């Protein structure tokens, strides 16, 4: 969309696991809502503290092992297993639609 003759800037975010920067829409947003519930934010518009991950299983594994995801969300405890399972499912859905798998690098 062009506004005032200039193209809009796309928001850039970085993966909490590997540090790779990418367009906000190319990463998976995990959000901790104000009441403390952690979930995958498919819309990117839920209110709360968010952290971004590359849609690659290795980044999720790294983020969980090093507790970077918990730190990014300001969580005092490890993520519940059901949240980890929903993250893995979201990554599988995203990578299934990408030709040749999800890009990473």
* pLDDT per position as a tens digit, 13-69: 999 999 999 999 999 999 999 998 888 888 889 999 999 999 888 999 999 999 999
pTM higher than 0.85 for the full model? no
pLDDT digit string, tens, across residues 90-100: 778 866 765 54
Where in the chain are the domains?
10-97
3-state helix, strand, coil in the chain (%, to 5): 30, 25, 45
- CATH architecture assigned to 10-97: 2-Layer Sandwich (3.30)
Q: How far apart are CA 51 and CA 18, in angstroms?
A: 12
The beta strand positions in 1-105, using DSSP E, are 2-3, 6-7, 12-14, 21-23, 28-32, 38-41, 49-53
């Amino acid at each position: 969309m062009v506004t005032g003759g200039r193209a809009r800037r796309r928001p850039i975010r970085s993966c909490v696991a590997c540090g790779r920067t990418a367009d906000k829409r190319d990463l998976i947003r995990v959000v901790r809502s104000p009441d403390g519930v952690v979930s995958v934010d498919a819309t990117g518009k839920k209110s709360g503290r968010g952290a971004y991950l590359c849609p690659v299983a290795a980044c999720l594994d790294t983020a969980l092992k090093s507790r970077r995801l918990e730190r990014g969300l300001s969580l005092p405890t490890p993520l519940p297993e059901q949240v980890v399972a929903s993250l893995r499912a979201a990554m599988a859905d995203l990578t299934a639609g990408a030709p040749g798998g999800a890009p990473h690098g």
